[in-house]
A and B are shown apart, each in its own frame.
Chain A
Amino acid sequence: MSAPSILRETLELTLARDDSFPTGFYARLSDAHPELRPMFHRNSPGPMNKLFAQKLLAIVDNLDDPQWLSRELGGLVSNHVGYGVTDEMYPWVGEALIATLAEACGDAWTTDAERAWTAAYAALVAAMLAR
């Protein structure tokens, strides 16, 4: 299975199995890094969760569309700078996200999935930081 297919299938499986995704991800992230908590205040948890899941899926769905990615990542970067996100925070997010996906997928989480997500997240962050 190709990397984009693994990403999409594991993410869809996570969303199908974990009704509250990405609540667990945010909990994991803020437990590990309590200093991030004040950043999450503009929206109530519901819209924040929906927005996160939709953006993440949209990125996975559009990995083969460089123009879309460039446009979308530009917006994401400026939003996150506005929220006070700094460079060292990006890896924290990746760790929490991949751990949450692995837990939701259970037996369906393979080393290929781990590898695909790690590589995809690293590429995403590199693209965002390069802007």
Chain B
Amino acid sequence: MLAWSLDEPDRLGEVIPVAGPITIGRGGALADDSHPRTTLHRARPGSSVAGPPIASARIARRQLLVEPTTEGVHVRSVGASRMRVGGIETTDTTARSGDLIEIHNAAVFLVVWRALATTASPTADFGFGGPDRFGIVGESEAAWKLREDIEFAASTDRHVLLLGESGVGKELAARAIHGRSARHRQSLVARNAATLPEALIDAELFGNVKSYPNPGMPERPGLVGEADGSTLFLDEIGDLPERCQVHLLRVLDEGGEYQRLGEAKSRRSTFRLVAATNRAPELLKHDFLARFTHRIALPGLTERRDDVALVLAEILRRTAKSNPVIAARFFERRADQVAEPRLAPDLVVRLLRHPFTHHVRELERIVWLAIGTAEADYIGITPAVDAELAASAESEVDATALDRDAVAKALADHGRSPTRAAKALGLRNRFVLLRLLKKHGLSVAEEGD
């Protein structure tokens, strides 16, 4: 998959299928090509459309000879431009899924394992590599699976629980579910459950009559009343005390019955709840969790590395659009229009290898750090960016060395608190621990819960 290109930045995310031995190079086929020539394709579930021949000036007419092996792809560099695979200069090697193939000053390819044809065929009503109409960016299998999950959940009108680490885009997914649903004409009602003052949670959720529970309080419909006929998005639902989770049970059932505080009569709200949490779902009260018919696990950037370059490009596009000073300094100009960013391939390579824990939000932060600390007219690795990326990478190396028993013991020894167990194990944060739990098939809750 093309992750960076000097000359063809509009082709990011396109893939070169390797079904057999192929030649990769600039332009169309040559009479004496030893293997058939393959160009970049725009691959989406159910379709793979070959684009024009590669036009990058710094990719030789015959640059790479590639063939699939049981381990990955065997790559031979036969062009004038130097090749690095996994950061090491070479002319002949085997690259595995996740490896980066760099053609010096021309292109960076990420080796990805994908089925050559898939059967699902979701609606594709947006340009390749760009954001869909809800702002979700990605052409990876994980991104398309997410779109399918969203479309299915939107069509059913059942309550949905979104699971994923901070920064994966849970609010974006909630807005997409609402936007694709039959309720889309009504406004989405969104609140962060962690910001609800504990003493007023019930009043915030269910509303209250005038001057109840406190004198002078205005009458309020509550979030449930406000969202009648629409969707209520409650973020960080895991922060809602168990007592309040119980209070929501009745209204989440089909009748949608609830009472405003201080009011004897029952009301009904036909709202649909889309809740999100970055905690393990087992931490929610069991019968509350059972009300969520659909659970959608949002993939982090580490699970869709093939989208990192596209998400990065979109962040930069948005930044240039909203900030003319940045656009003037870091972006090329074509026919007096803002064009592609001047982006160092080394930064893209580092980001593609980075063990993200806060995903898109973290990527955005690194981009701003790179822009804010840049000393030249391009976006690249500054000492500050280097330090930031190195600090995160260290904790990931430690994490992979931890075995199942060590993780299980740390969790048991620390009252099954992921935050404290992560700290005891020397991990950077609880998200790294939660990933380890998933990897080892462990759960935050006690066995048998």
Contacts and interface: CB of A to CB of B under 8 A. Distances in A.
Interface of A: 8-9, 12-13, 15-16, 19, 42-44, 46-47, 50, 53-54, 56-58, 61
A8 B339 CA distance: 29
Interface of B: 6-7, 26-27, 55-58, 60-61, 79-82, 104-105, 332-336, 339, 342
Nearest to A42: B335
Given A54-B7, A57-B26, A61-B26, A16 B332 contact: no
A37 B198 CA distance: 68
B332 A12 contact: no
A95 B27 CA distance: 27
| Majority DSSP secondary structure for residues of B touching A | loop
A47 B334 contact: yes
A47 to B, nearest CB: 5
Given A12-B80, A19-B105, A54 B335 contact: no
27 contacts: A8-B61, A12-B60, A15-B57, A15-B80, A16-B60, A16-B79, A16-B80, A16-B81, A19-B105, A43-B334, A43-B335, A44-B333, A44-B334, A47-B332, A47-B333, A50-B6, A50-B57, A53-B7, A53-B58, A54-B7, A54-B55, A57-B26, A57-B57, A58-B55, A61-B26, A61-B27, A61-B61
Contacts of B55: 54, 58
Given A47-B339, A50-B6, A12 B61 contact: yes
A15 B332 contact: no
A126 B27 CA distance: 26
A46 B331 CA distance: 9
Contacts of A9: 80
A56 B336 CA distance: 23
B81 to A, nearest CB: 4
A16 B107 CA distance: 12
Nearest to B79: A12
Nearest to B338: A44
A46 B335 contact: no
Given A50-B7, A61-B26, A16 B334 contact: no
Nearest to A18: B105
A96 B26 CA distance: 25
B57 A53 contact: yes
A43 B332 contact: yes
Given A15-B81, A16-B82, A46 B58 contact: no
A44 B27 CA distance: 26
B132 to A, nearest CB: 28
Given A12-B80, A15-B80, A56-B57, 8 more contacts: A12-B81, A44-B333, A44-B334, A44-B339, A46-B332, A46-B342, A47-B334, A53-B58
A16 B26 contact: no
Contact of B57 (A13, A42, A54): A54
A19 B103 CA distance: 12
Nearest to B7: A50
A53 B361 CA distance: 37
Nearest to A12: B80
A47 B6 CA distance: 10
A19 B82 CA distance: 12
Contacts of B105: 19
A43 B104 contact: no
Nearest to B105: A19
A43 B61 CA distance: 27
A108 B26 CA distance: 22
A47 B337 CA distance: 11
A15 B342 CA distance: 18
Nearest to B56: A54
Given A54-B7, A61-B61, A42 B81 contact: no
Nearest to A9: B80
Nearest to B332: A46
